[in-house]
Each structure stands twice: as structure tokens, then as C-alpha cells.
Amino acid sequence: MVTINIDGKNYQVEPKNNLLQTVLSLGLDLPYFCWHPAMGSVGSCRQCAVKKYADENDQKGRIVMACMEPVVDGMRISLNDPEVKKFRENIIELLMTNHPHDCPVCDEGGECHLQDMTLMSGHNYRRFEFNKRTHNNQYLGPFINHEMNRCIACYRCVRFYREYAGGRDFNVFASRNRVFFGRYEDGVLESEFSGNLVEICPTGVFTDKTYKKHYTRKWDLTTAPSICHNCSLGCNIIAGERYGAIRRIASRYNGKVNGYFICDRGRFGYEYVNSDQRIKEPLRRGQASGQLEPVDVSTAFEFVKNIVSKKGKILGIGSPKASVESNFALQKFVGKENFFAGVSGPEHRLTLKAMDIMQNGPSNVPSLKETEKADVVLVLGEDVTNTAPMLALSLRQASRVKPMELPIKMNIPTWHELAAMELIQDERGPFFVLTPSETKLDDVATATYRNAPDNIARMGFAIAHEIDHNAPAVEDLTEEEKKLAKQIADELVAAKKPLIVSGTSLLNEKILEAAANIGRAIDKKEKIANLFFVLPEANSFGLAMLEDKALDQALQAAENNKYDAVVILENDLYRRLPASEADRLLNSAGKVVALHYLQNQTTEKADLVIPVGPFTESDGTLINNEGRAQRFFQVFYPQETIKESWRWLAGFMEDNGLVGEDELVNLDDLINAVVSDYPAISAIKEAAPGSQFRINGQKIPRASHRFSGRTSINAMCRSANQNHRKMQILPCPLPWKATMDRCRRPPCRVSGTLAGIRYRLLISFKLKLAADCMAVIPAYVCLNRAWKMNLIILKKCRPCSKHKKTTGWPFRSICFTAATNSAVLRPALKN
């Protein structure tokens, strides 16, 4: 701890960050553009100027850039000195000389960093009388829109795309005010992380094209914290809705999992929720027509009652994409002995194996964010860019850990990106990729090894043997292989934080065993290895915790026992089994009841199809690959017949007297039931607060304070053709409510950074303030992400000291989510 003096007031701070981050973390306002907490400082925008004084007698001081300034004891600075304020205003004025007059048609408007900073610095009248420079735009693919005129040349995009995410097809061209950020030629951006440009860019140069198709201002979105369902990592996302359709997905800061970013699959892979192929009402196969026909809910209940009342045996098939609660509800409905995980046998056994190694095996299981800190990385048979993209991004950062020791040794702080990168150049730490085919991580690899999965496993055993000679040896290795195994073993032993990444994608059990053996061998060297396993799907872990029987056993059971019906939960058997086996299973199990949100081959074969909500229309818990339980919440309330899977199943149970009336009514009841049946995953209860949670006695509104159109959305004109869906506001059993109604003041207040500024603007209700544009979308309206989304899960209203320090990025300035939105199961499992 050191003491610094800001405008005559003393503050106690940690000296590890730069001055800008320190100032922002203290809750003081200072505008900036190019600095980003994940990418460090380069000092290119000149916006975060402060005045620095030599000592208390120094009255004059000098202007320095806060982002390039280390924090030292006894430092005296001023943020509000008139000269430095004028300097910042002039910088904005210069940045604005070429900014086009297009805020009303800009998708960034309302969540624009440039708008906020312009308002904040006070520049409001254009004095520059000359022409604006213009740029032609590029086609950057179906996801990213390019509008180069809006650029202020902060260089964040190119730093993220090239240096952070390792993309090669994007760069900066030309010089002075003509600089251009884009591709060499028109074309689709190749990086898997290109969507982050939308959030990285402080203005509207890069915007989300999928969002543009059904654009809504940010303040009009009704949002909920959610979890990405596209891979096993469980990145935290925010889903936004308006007029009954999902509008966009944005990343949600979680300091333990995804940090500030998400991959393109997570960001852009949501449109199926709005698809025409959605199943919107129960469908029953008509006896006469043989086709699926829409029926009402009571008919669906009757159909199920007919089966249950005849003492029919029902086979249940779960899903690794459905929540723990839904899977549990099905298991409870059909009985434990009749419930099977909806995953192919080999895949499920591999998942169980990986979980067994995590629980009972050697080594530590790091969180996704911790993998960034590993100094030696061994990827054993997993193409992580495809199976868990955000892990690839983390590993890329890990490859810089060892070279970063050099700047640290030379007293260059790690946040000083410009100097550190200059020193280490393209240096990468020890990084080994052992996969059957080329991967996108090969460019950072020290050595790669291409061979069949079994041979990769053999290499793994050989490495373990090299580290610890008691581990079983491998025969018949070529000289080169021996040399590589020795090299990898030496690096792993020398490492401070060795990391072994493996996974289930090659369906090879030996690879997992080899990874475990390496971990065990390293542990014997009195080090702690980190073992990170990638699992097949979003809730593979959770499903495997509930059930160890898979589809091959289900097929046997169906053929041996007489089943009257099979209930398939959010799953397509034709993607899990060969078509012939799936046919056999469906044919031998009697009536087929499928719960799904989209039409697929399985629903086509079904006798009854139940419409359920995908992740945006249901609540539940997912357990990610490291055993972290995370809750996702309903973003909007769909048409009446679409319900969460667990709600349908609980309804079936209640209808047939399998549970008491009002026993399983809401998510809390179901979670309690899961916890009482499976104490090993009792941590899912801790993943998020229950429905009784209130802040200052209020439920937490999911719409922003400035949500518009409340009194006209549902007011329908007689003559007009109404083809869009109505907004529905239903009583919600969760700790949220959909609107801001009767919410006189925000339930809690963000401390620090821009959130504060935005809040004040909200009150002052200032229109037409910002520079250049005749009327700029005023910044008073955009609070969702900064203020609401991250705070909704917090247990206390004040940020704890631990988190205060790590904040700074205004859009998600608080990382409460990390502390309370997830609960790691592993300690519980170990007991």
C-alpha cells in the first residue's frame, strides 16, 4: 500500500497498476479511450491527461498521461486542474473533427464510449470549419459491420485482434488522420473472436450485424444474466430482448471464467431462438392423418396421464444441453432406474472419466481465467479453438507469461504494454500442441506433434515417464519422439505453473489417462500441475453428476424391458447415435414424447411434442467443465404454451400425483429437491440468490430506467396490421421484475468509474449536449450493462475491497458476478 494525493486528498492504493486504473478504481472520473484492463496501456489517445506535481511546493505541475504513469508513494496529482481539463476537452475536440454526423443512425448510440467521454469533458460546439476526411467501408462478413468514418484511431481493435487474439487478417493502414483499420481486402474476418471488436471499439466503427437486423437501443432492451450454452466453458453472457424476440448477446464480465470477452459462437449463435422452426404449441400425431397436429395444453397433459395411469413404464433420456433442474425433473418423473443420459456411451464414459480424474486424481483444476497465468502449456489431443474457443484465447495469453518475466526483471510494469511488447517482440513461452491435425494455436507453439490419437496418448505416457521414471515407460518411440518427450518433460518440470489441457473430443480414454499421469508425475516433483479438461457440452458435467448410464444402455433397456413410452428432453437422438440405432430405440420404446424448442429428426418421429423454452426462455443451472455451477435466467416470457422443460415435467408429475400439489412450483423448489437427492452438487444452490432475494426491499428490475414505449407497445390501433408480438409482463417468481415500474430509485448504486457519470446524466436529463451532432443520443439512458447486469446478483450493495481493486472497465465496472454467480463444486466433491 502506498499513499497518493489526488486534488489534495490522500488515498491508500496498491502500486501494482497504472495511475489511470488506480484512479478509476477509486471511483473517480477520468476519461480515456485506448487503455483496456485486459490489454494494458499504450498511451495513444492522449485523453487521460492529469497534472502531476513534483512535491507540495510545486504549484505549476506538468501534464502526464495517467495510463502511462506508474503509481509511486507520495505521488501528487490533480484531475480537476483547469489547465488539464481544458487539455482533455481540446483532445476530444480534435478527435471529433472528423467524426461524422450520424449518431442517430449509429448502432453504438446510447452505449458509446465516445459520446460519454465527450459529454464528460464538456466539449459541445464545433469550431473546426474545414472538411471531414472520409473512408470507404469494407465488407467484414456476416457478423461485423464496418463504418470507418467514425474511427478515432485509439488502436484498441488492432491490438485486440492481432496481439491479444492472434488474428492475422486485420491491420492498420496509412498514416496521420488517414489511418484505416480493416482487412487487406474485403472479406470475412477469420478470427473466432472478431465479435469482441464490437465491444472493444469505443465508437461505432465495428457494430454487430445480427443486432442491426432487429436493432433496438440499449436502453430498450430487457436483459437477464445468462450463460452461454455453446460449449462446456460456460462463459457469462447478457441476453437482451425487445418485443418478444431476442435481440443480441453481449459478454458479461466474470473474473473467474471469461473475463471481458466471449467468442463469436457465443455472441452470434443465438438466432435459432427467434427461428420460424420453433415449436410454439404442443403437437400430437393425429390418428387419422399420421401427421403432427397442434393441440392444446390439456390434451398434452391427458396424453401423458394416459400412459402414467396405466402403470406404464417410461424411459427418460436427458440432455447435456439442458439444465441440471430439467434433467433432474425428468429423472424424478421416470424414476432413477429408467433415466439415461442422452449422450453416446463412449462420450459419456469419457466425461465420467475426466470428472473422476478431476475429483480423485492428481493436480489442481484451474478456472478458465487461471489458465492464462500458466507459464508452460501442453495441449494433449484437443483442438481447443474448435471445442472451447475461449480457452484458445486464454492459452494464447499463457504463451506470453514466460517472456513477460524479462520486462518484469527490467522493472517494466506488465501493464505497460507498449514497452513490454517492444522488449519481448514475438517471443513465446514453452507451448506444445499434440493433436492429430493442424490447429490455430500452432503459431504460438514451441513444438507441434501430429499423429493418431493413440500415438498422442503414447507421447503423453512417454512425457510422464520422462518426468517420473516410476511412471510406465513407452516402447518403440522414434528418436524424434523421444527428444520431444524429453523437451516437454524438462519444460514442465522447470515450470512454475505447468498446465496440461486435454479433453474428450477425440473420444480417446488413453489421452485422458496420459494427461492424468503427467499431472501425477509433476505432483511428485513437489509442484502443482494444472489439469484442464474440455468436456463435450454445456452441461455434460451436470448430467454426468446425475446419471452414469448412457444411450447404449438405454437402447439395451428399451429392447429388453417393455417400455410404454420414452420421454426425450431437449435432445436429438439422431445426432447422438447412428440412425439405425436411434430408429431401434424409438421403435422399441412405445410412445415417443419429445420436449424440444426446435424441430429435428427426433421430434419428427415423436407422438407428442412439447414446446419448451431454450436458454433465453427458461431458468436453470449449468455446470461447466471445471465443475462451476452457474445459473442462467429467463430473458423474456414467451407465448403461454412455451414453458421451461422442468416446469412441464413438474406439471406432469403433479398431474399424475407423483409429487404433492405445490411441491415443485418454482425453481427454488426444484433446486431444493436436487440438493436433497444429490448432496454432492448442493453448491448449485449457491450459484445465485433465490427468489426471495431483494435489494433495499425491492426486486431487481431487468429493464433500464429509460425503457421506452411502456404505454404504447401494447396499445394496438384498430386498423393497423399487427404482426409483431406483444410485450408481456408476467409475475416472475425470481428476484427480478421485468420493468422499472414502481422502482423509484435504483436498488443499488455503482461506485466508481463511468457508471457514476452515467447515473448523474440520467438525472440531469440533458438532451443535445454532445459535440458536433445536432442531437446526439444522450448518454443518460444506458445503464443496463454497467449498472444493472453486474449488480443484480450481488449479495451486498457495496463492492468488497477485493473486487474494488480489480475493476476499472466502465461497461462492466464491478465483478460481483464472479463472486456470487457461480459456485465451484470441486471442494464439495473432494469431501
- Residues in the site for another protein, rule: CB under 8 A? 100-106, 109-110, 130-137, 147, 149, 173-176, 178, 180, 212, 214-217, 219-220, 243, 706-713, 715-720, 724, 767-768, 773-778, 781
Which residues pair with residue 242 across a beta bridge?
A: 245
Helix, strand or coil for residue 355? Answer: helix
DSSP letter (8 states) at residue 789: I
Output the smallest distance, CB 716 to another protein, in A.
7
SS3 520: helix
Closer CB to another protein, residue 151 or residue 515?
151
At closest approach, how far in Å is the CB of 414 from another protein? 33
Instruction: Report the residue number, 36 or 702, with the smaller CB distance to another protein.
Output: 702
CB 448 within 8 A of CB 456: no
The secondary structure of 626-649 as a DSSP string is TSEEEEE-------TT-B-HHHHH
User: What is the nearest approach in angstroms of another protein to the Cβ of residue 783?
Assistant: 12
- Which secondary structure element, helix H or strand E, spans residue 724, and what is its range? none
Q: Which is nearer to another protein, 217 or 256 (CB)?
A: 217
Closer residue to another protein (CB): 211 or 432 = 211
| Closest CB to another protein among residues 404, 738 | 738
In the block, residue with C-alpha cell 424476440? 245
Q: How many CB atoms lie within 10 A of CB 553?
A: 14
What nine digits make up the cell of 275?
427461428
Question: Smallest gap, in angstroms, from Cβ of residue 253 to another protein?
Answer: 26
| Beta-bridge partners for 182 | 171
The amino acid sitting at 608 is L
Closest contact distance (angstroms) between CB of 97 and another protein is 11
Q: How far is the CB of 95 from another protein (least distance, A)?
A: 15
**Nearest distance in Å: CB 30, another protein:** 27
Residue number, 411 or 719, with CB nearest to another protein: 719
385's CB contacts (< 8 A; 6+ apart) are 192, 392, 439, 440, 441
Q: How far is the CB of 98 from another protein (least distance, A)?
A: 9
> Nearer to another protein by C-beta: 273 or 793?
273
Find the shortest distance in angstroms from Cβ 196 to another protein: 24
345-369: buried (b, 16+ CB within 10 Å) or exposed (e) per residue? bebbbbbbbbbebbeebbbbbbbbb
551: cell is 444411450
The three-state secondary structure class of 535 is coil
Sequence-distant (≥ 6) Cβ neighbours of residue 371 within 8 angstroms: 391, 394, 395, 398, 499, 501, 530, 532
Cα(447)–Cα(406) distance, integer angstroms = 22
Residue 269: how many other CB atoms lie within 10 Å? 15
CA 350 to chain centre: 25
Q: Please name the residue that has the C-alpha cell 470441486.
A: 826
169 or 559: CB nearest another protein: 169
Smaller CB distance to another protein: residue 83 or 102? Answer: 102
By beta-carbon proximity to another protein, the closer residue of 76 and 706 is 706
Burial category of 9 from C-beta neighbours within 10 Å (exposed 0-12, middle 13-18, buried 19 and up)? exposed
Give the integer Cα–Cα distance in Å for 721 and 264: 36
Residue closer to another protein, measured from CB, 434 or 773: 773
Minimum CB separation of residue 374 from another protein in Å reads 39
Q: Which is nearer to another protein, 149 or 753 (CB)?
A: 149
- What's the closest the beta carbon of residue 130 comes to another protein, in angstroms? 8
CB of 100 to another protein, least distance (A): 3
Element holding 491 (H helix, E strand):
helix 479-494
Residues 551, 555, 561: CA angle, nearest 5 degrees: 130
What is the spatial distance between Cα 664 and Cα 461, in angstroms, rounded to a whole number? 49
Work out how close the CB of 108 gets to another protein at its nearest, in angstroms, rounded to a whole number: 12
Q: Pick the closest to residue 812 from 111, 335, 7 (CA basis).
A: 111
Residue 65: Cβ within 10 Å count: 23
CB 726 to another protein: min, Å:
11
Which lies closer to another protein via its Cβ, residue 137 or residue 587? 137
Instruction: Give me the half-sphere count of Cα atoms (radius 13 Å) on the Cβ side of residue 199.
Output: 27
Nearer CB in complex with another protein: 419/762: 762
- Which residue in the block uniquely carries the three cell numbers 438532451? 767
